[in-house]
Amino acid sequence: MTTPFKHLLAAYQRRAYLAALGWVGNEQEAHELAQDALLKAWKARQSYDSARPFYPWLHVIVKNVCRDALARSARAPLPGLKAERVVDAAPQPEAGLRLRQREQRLYAAMRLLDDHHREILVLRHFEDLSYAEIAEVLNLAVGTVMSRLFRARKALLHQLETEDI
């Protein structure tokens, strides 16, 4: 089981990263949390039921690792704004700055959402899952996914419009 399980983890490494990025909104932290989640999955590989889909099982691990990290960071003082990416020599650096500012606002607003809203937005918009795939991961009906996604988008828009972020 170890070799096929290693292949499963390798195949889902990018999805774990994208999920973590949606939860924490920081590329470096998302890489670290995805690696932590994959390590936890490796250590818990005996508990995985191979008769069931792999990603829903892994998704729960990634979500829990990210929620734990967010809970720890909520207790820590907020750092000042810092550049996390090197800006390339684009002809219009203002556009890159505006894009990064919008990303920062989006991630800040995502952090203010409740976990259910954040989770479904991450699955749809960061991991690019279809409604059917989200339904499988969350064990919900497709119609329920659609309505929850609608409410989550509405909550995110409300945060972006009302919060000073």
- The stretch 18-36 carries a mean pLDDT of 92
Tokens standing for residue 86: 């090197």
Cα–Cα distances (Å) from 65 to 30, 49, 87, 97, 155, in that order, read 10, 20, 30, 30, 24
| Same-domain status, 121 and 156 | yes
Q: Does residue 105 belong to any structural domain of this protein?
A: yes
| Same-domain status, 141 and 102 | yes
- pLDDT confidence of 3, banded at 50, 70, 90? confident
Report the Cα–Cα distance between both ends of the chain, in Å, rounded. Answer: 47
CATH number of the domain enclosing 68: 1.10.1740.10
* More confident of the two residues 43 and 77: 43
Could you tell me if 109 and 159 are in contact, meaning their C-beta atoms sit under 8 angstroms apart? Answer: yes
- The stretch 17-41 carries a mean pLDDT of 93
| Same-domain status, 119 and 52 | no
What pLDDT does 17 receive?
Answer: 94
What pLDDT does 92 receive?
Answer: 67
What pLDDT does 88 receive?
Answer: 52
Q: What is the CA radius of gyration of the chain?
A: 17
Q: Residue 26 sits in which domain range?
A: 1-75
pLDDT at 91 over 80: no
Q: What is the pLDDT of residues 107-145, one digit of tens each?
A: 889 989 999 999 999 999 988 899 999 999 999 999 999
Q: How many domains does the chain have?
A: 2
CA pair distance 158, 4, nearest whole angstrom: 44
pLDDT at 80 over 70: no
CA pair distance 143, 11, nearest whole angstrom: 29
What pLDDT does 148 receive?
Answer: 95
Tell me the pLDDT of the chain averaged across its residues.
85
| Same-domain status, 24 and 66 | yes
* More confident of the two residues 163 and 1: 163
Asked whether the whole model's pTM tops 0.85, one would answer no
* More confident of the two residues 150 and 105: 150
